[in-house]
Amino acid sequence: MLDKIKKLHSEITSLKINTRQELESYRLKYLSKKGIISSLFEEFRNIPNTIKKETGQRLNELKQTAQAKFDSLKSSLNTSEETRRDVDTTKPSYSFVSGSRHPISIVRREIIDIFSRIGFIVSEGPEIEDDDHVFTKLNFAPEHPARDMQDTFYISRISAEDSNPGDILLRTHTSSVQVRVMQSMKPPIRTISPGRVFRNEAISARAHCIFHQVEGLYIDENVSFSDLKQTLYYFAHELFGKETRIRFRPSYFPFTEPSAEMDLSCLICGGKGCKVCKNTGWLEVLGCGMVHPNVLEACSIDSRKYTGFAFGMGIERAAMLKYQINDLRLYFENDLRFLSQFKSAI
C-alpha cells in the first residue's frame, strides 16, 4: 500500500490541469466519496498494525496534497475566467503611439557624438556649486557683475560685498566642470561638459532662466587659436551642414584671452532677418577663446608650458537653428504636438 500511495502522490503532483472541466474530473477521480483516495482509506482498515502508523501518515499527506492542489487550481481558474470575461476580444485594438526624444536631448547627443569623433571625452559635475569653481578660479574679478544677485541664483551667500569661496549657488555655466577636470587631470586634456545651468534672466523667445550648455576644453603644448577655429568649423559643418556660413567676432570673457564669439547665418530666415536674429541675418551660437594663463595657474597647470582653448554653447540656441524653431519657450511647455515632430537616429 505504501508503494501505491507513493505512486499516486507523484501522479497528482505532476498532473497538468488547464480547464474547469479537467479540474472537476480530477476531483471526481481522487477526492470524491467514490474516488481513489477514499478507497485507500477503506483498505487502510485491513492492513497490519505494524505498518498502520506509517501508512496512516502517508495517506493523510496524500489527501492534503490532493486537496491543496484542487483548491489552488480552483482559485486560479476562477480568476482567469473572470479576467477573460472583462476583456471584449471582439473590440478593435488601440493604436499605441511611440514616444520621441526631446529636441534638446537629440541635439545634445549629436554634439557629444561630433566631438567624440575627434577625441573629446565627456565630463560632468554638480549643478549646485561654490563660488570658487564657478567664478574665482575662472578669473572673475570680485566686482564682476556676473556675481550679482541679478544674474546668479545664490543658495547661501556668506558675503554680499565681495567674492567668498564659501558662497553656494546654482552654476551659471558648465565651466565649473572644466575647473574640476583641470584640478584632477594632467595635460593633455580634451573634454566637453554638457549640463543644465541657471541664470536669473527674463524669460523670452531668446532666453530662459534654465538652459543647457556644452562647454569644451583642450589643453596641451603648442595649442593655438587656429586649432580652436578649425575645431569649431568642423563642429558647425557637421551639425548644421556644409553650406553653413560662419564668422568670428572679437569678444571678452574673463577666463579666455583672446576671446571671440562665433555666429552662424540664421537658418530660420535664411539670412534675411527675423525676430530671432534681431534682423541681422546672424545668430551667435557660442563663445570661445584661448584659456587665460591665470586660469591655468589657478588650477596648478604651468602656463609657460601649456596652452589651451575653451568654448561654450547653448544647446537650445543650436536646436533653434537646426530645427528652425523661433521660440525656445516651446522646449519647456511639454506640448506633445511640438515634441512629436522630432525623431532621432542616435
Are the beta carbons of 212 and 108 closer than 8 angstroms? Answer: yes
Residue 176 pLDDT level (bands cut at 50, 70, 90): very high
Strands of 189-198's sheet, edge to edge? 121-122, 189-198, 210-220, 307-314, 282-291, 256-265, 246-253
47, 166: one domain: no
pLDDT in tens, 31-53: 887 788 788 777 777 777 777 77
Expressed as residue numbers, the domain containing 9 is 2-84
Domain annotation covers residue 93: no
Report yes or no on 282 lying in a domain: yes
Whether 201 is covered by a domain: the verdict is yes
How many whole angstroms separate alpha carbon 297 and alpha carbon 332? 39
Predicted confidence (pLDDT) per residue in 63-94, tens digit = 888 888 788 877 777 665 555 555 666 777 77
C-beta of residue 178 within 8 angstroms of C-beta of residue 107? no
- 211 and 64 share one domain: no
Euclidean distance between CA atoms 129 and 15, whole angstroms: 66
Q: Are residues 136 and 59 in the same domain?
A: no
pTM: 0.67
DSSP letter at 291? E
Residue type, 185: M
Same domain, 283 and 194: yes
* 107 in the same domain as 54: no
Instruction: Please check whether residues 170 and 299 belong to one and the same domain.
Output: yes
CA terminus-to-terminus distance, the chain = 70
| Cell 563642429 -> residue | 235
CA distances 288 to 19, 66, 97, 150, 345, Å, are 73, 79, 42, 24, 29
CA distance 262 to 237: 13
266 vs 138: which has the higher pLDDT? 138
Identify the CATH number of the domain in which residue 321 sits.
Answer: 3.30.930.10
pLDDT digit string, tens, across residues 94-148: 777 677 789 999 999 999 999 999 999 999 999 999 999 999 999 998 888 877 7
SS3 81: helix
- The three-state secondary structure class of 234 is helix
What's the angle, vertex CA 150, arms to CA 145 and CA 151, rounded to 5?
Answer: 65
64 is a domain residue: yes
Give a yes or no: residue 345 inside a domain: no
Q: Find the DSSP H helices in 98-244.
A: 103-116, 131-134, 175-184, 225-240
**Are 77 and 126 found together in one domain?**
no
Q: Is the domain of 147 the same as that of 47?
A: no
pLDDT for position 231: 96
In a domain, 141, yes or no: yes
Sign of CA dihedral 11, 13, 14, 20: positive
Q: Is 222 left (phi over 0), alpha (psi -120 to 50) or beta?
A: left
Specify whether 60 is located in the same domain as 21: yes
Q: Which of residues 21, 56, 84 is at a domain's end?
A: 84
Assess contact for 193 and 220: CB atoms under 8 A: no
Assigned domain for 234 exists: yes
Residue 5 has pLDDT above 80, yes or no: no
For 173, other C-beta atoms within 10 Å of its C-beta total 23
Q: How many residues does the chain have?
A: 346
For residue 9, the model assigns a pLDDT of 77
Task: Among 53, 84, 115, identify where a domain stops.
Answer: 84
Final residue before a domain boundary, out of 84, 112, 130 = 84
Is it the case that residue 161 has pLDDT exceeding 90?
A: no
Cell 545668430 found at: 283
50 plus 169 within the same structural domain: no
Q: Are residues 206 and 274 in the same domain?
A: yes
Q: Identify whether residues 172 and 295 lie together within a single domain.
A: yes
Residue 256, in any domain of the structure = yes
Closest CA to 174 of 259, 260, 297, 286: 286
Least confident of 48-62, 82-96, 307-321: 82-96
Task: Dump pLDDT digits (tens) for 213-222.
Answer: 999 999 999 9
Total domain count, the chain: 2
267/286 Cα distance (integer angstroms): 16
